[in-house]
A and B are shown apart, each in its own frame.
Chain A
Amino acid sequence: MSKEIEHLDAKGLVKYFKDEFKTKVTKAEIKTKKEGKKQSEIVNIWMKIDKSIFKPFIKHLCDYQYPHLAVVSGNDFPKVIELVYHFSLDYGKDRKEISLNVAVDLPKSKPEIETICDYIPGALITEREKQEMLGVKVIGIPDNRRLFLPEDFPEDVYPWRKDDKGMEKFIRNLHDEVKK
């Protein structure tokens, strides 16, 4: 039995999450961009949350409205890996869509995160891609195979990591070879 949650705008959404998770939401910013003669608005919410509330956060979001997951992108910093989940809500209502971008920090010594495939089955492909490109371990993922990299690529070389040294023997510059 779920209570009736009425439709929230951007500020209401931020309040909805802050009320539930209080200090674990470390950053919440609303950016609006206006384009065209009629100045139609494009609303982006950028939030940063603690890793410990990640799964409850997703559940809270699905309780409000089933989101559309666009993709998960990853930033590689010296000590943490930051995963950004890009959701969008309120599609289907003329011009009122809100984009929600949620960032989670994972320590590089133990980059693990829970899967969201049990709530959103469409997240499978993007989670597999993060596993092989950044070295993030997704706990509970239904399908653990590689997605894009060839099978003979070594196991612990991650192309998107900035400090990765194992990549050097794979990189080839085709223009140099043609000039020879």
Chain B
Amino acid sequence: MTDEKTTTKATYQIPIGPIHPALKEPVMFEFEISGEQIVDVDVQLGHIHRAIEWTGMRRNAIQIIYLAERICGICSFVHPMSFCRAVESACDIDVPERAHYLRVVHAELERICSHLLWAGVAAHEIGFDTVLFLTWEMREKALDLTEYLTGNRVTKAILTIGGVRRDVTADQLPKIKETLQYFKNNFEKLRHIFLDDKTFKMRSQGVGILTKEDALKLCTVGPTARASGIKKDTRVDQPYAAYGDLDMTYMTPDLLTGEVNGDVYDRIIARLLEVKQSIELIETALDQAPAGELVSEPKIPKLLAHIKKTAGEGVGRDEAPRGEVFHYVKFDGEHENPYTWKVRASTYNNILAWIPMLKGEQIADIPIVAASTDPCMSCTNRVIVIEKNNNKNYMLTKEQLHKLSVQKTRRLMR
């Protein structure tokens, strides 16, 4: 005997992203809802398709570095790094040791910026705007350091095939140490706000659970996978650049709490542990960096001529703040532009993971669950709820959806 529950189909465009709907990248979700619970989820992508891979196949390797930076503004160091490593692997170009260490420093600095950004977004979705301002103020210090070292806050343009373009000189070290000390002093405050607060725990524990099996089958990557207990981290599995020399381990939540649940709380833990790890990695890398050259081939026309003559294919895999980033490049030995260039950003593997995470949850939990995977795409405005029986269409704006989430927090706080 089947229970005839009335389900309503709701076409959502999910509002994930900091407040003031700024991080908005449209992704369409269709939810099938019964009462307040979600029964089924469907994802539609494609609104930001800028034809980057197609464009890249028509430009030479140096131009593609600047194109790859603009794939995503938040992971704007890792995409060029993966591309450069793929080309170096395909054309047998060596990289000097000092460049390896400097690449580690920049990558970890970007990871700190990205995780602090995410922490603010997560706090905003739960309803604590003050925490958003607090974490983004801390992030400004990291951006100051980025600007001091590279010249810009976002899109740094510090990589080239065969090394890095700028050096970290001895007179820049005091400022770096001062910023790192600031982070170390404030890390305890951050940890206390996110992990000890009763409301955070109530909203995030037991919500949006992704089991280890589901995470394996759907090939999830990054902190989303590590929070479900899978040990998968490209920096430790296939150590590239200088990671092989540094002491590292997989950051899974049982390092802090002793158990793994795969819910939103665990993902917060995984990211906070990574911030701490990044601070230590930057310090060690700067201490151990050997002196030496920065680039193996400083003259660009010679480099392009070498790439033009070589035929081969190469793969570059890196660990972005959101997970594994994959670039595949194939050269045919006759042209400067690659024959094929394939990019796989980390969020594409994590999108399918939203489906098991959201089934069975309430509507008010959608913003925090979706934000907990740290999608490098966020969405916009409306929610259209269509009632099947009486054909009524009513619209919930983004503010109303966000309000639902905040109201749930206030209810739990009482």
Contact = CB atoms under 8 A, between A and B. Distances in A.
Interface of A: 31, 33, 35-40, 42-44, 46, 66, 68-71, 73-76, 84, 86, 88, 90-97, 99, 101, 120-126, 145-150, 159-160
A91 B235 CA distance: 11
10 contacts: A73-B328, A92-B231, A94-B237, A101-B315, A121-B352, A122-B219, A145-B44, A148-B46, A149-B46, A150-B49
Contact of B46 (A69, A96, A147): A147
B136 interface: no
B195 interface: no
Contact of B328 (A71, A93, A146): A71
Contact of A97 (B238, B245, B340): B238
Instruction: Pick from A37, A46, A96 the residue with the most CB of B within 10 Å.
Output: A37
Given A92-B237, A97-B237, A120 B217 contact: yes
A40 B239 contact: yes
B85 to A, nearest CB: 9
Contact of B49 (A101, A145, A149): A149
Contacts of A145: 44
Given A35-B239, A121-B217, A150 B46 contact: yes
Contacts of B49: 148-150
A35 B244 contact: yes
B89 A33 contact: yes
B230 interface: yes
Nearest to B50: A148
Contact of A68 (B53, B232, B290, B348): B232
A125 B240 CA distance: 27
Main secondary structure of the interface of A (DSSP, over half): mixed
A101 B349 CA distance: 18
Contact of B53 (A42, A96, A160): A160
Contact of A91 (B51, B237, B342): B237
> Nearest 9 A-B pairs (CB), nearest first?
A40-B244, A122-B219, A97-B237, A73-B342, A92-B231, A71-B344, A122-B218, A36-B244, A148-B46
Contacts of A125: 348-349, 351-352
A99 B244 contact: no
Interface of B: 44-46, 49, 51, 53-54, 89, 95, 97, 100, 216-220, 230-232, 236-245, 249-250, 290, 313, 315, 317, 324, 326, 328, 330, 339-340, 342, 344, 348-349, 351-352
B45 A148 contact: yes
A70 B326 contact: yes
Contacts of A91: 231-232, 237
Contacts of B236: 94-95
Nearest to B324: A70
Contacts of B230: 92
Nearest to B250: A92
Given A124-B352, A159-B51, A36 B238 contact: no
B315 A99 contact: yes
Nearest to B248: A94
Contact of A147 (B45, B89, B340, B352): B45
A66 to B, nearest CB: 6
A145 B42 CA distance: 12
B115 to A, nearest CB: 22
Given A122-B219, A125-B352, A160-B54, A99 B238 contact: yes
B228 to A, nearest CB: 13
B340 A73 contact: yes
Instruction: Pick from B44, B53, B342 the residue with the most CB of A within 10 Å.
Output: B342
Contact of A35 (B240, B326, B351): B240
Nearest to B218: A122
B245 to A, nearest CB: 5
Nearest to A121: B217
A144 B110 CA distance: 37
A31 B86 CA distance: 13
Contact of B100 (A36, A71, A75, A160): A36
B40 to A, nearest CB: 13
B356 to A, nearest CB: 10
A101 B342 CA distance: 14
Given A35-B239, A122-B218, A125-B352, A95 B244 contact: yes
A92 B234 CA distance: 10
Instruction: Pick from A44, A68, A146 the residue with the most CB of B within 10 Å.
Output: A68
B326 A71 contact: yes
A42 B237 CA distance: 9
Contacts of A73: 328, 340, 342
B377 to A, nearest CB: 12
A159 B54 contact: yes
Contacts of B348: 125-126
A101 B238 CA distance: 15
A150 B89 CA distance: 35
A158 B230 CA distance: 37
Contact of A75 (B44, B239, B339, B344): B339
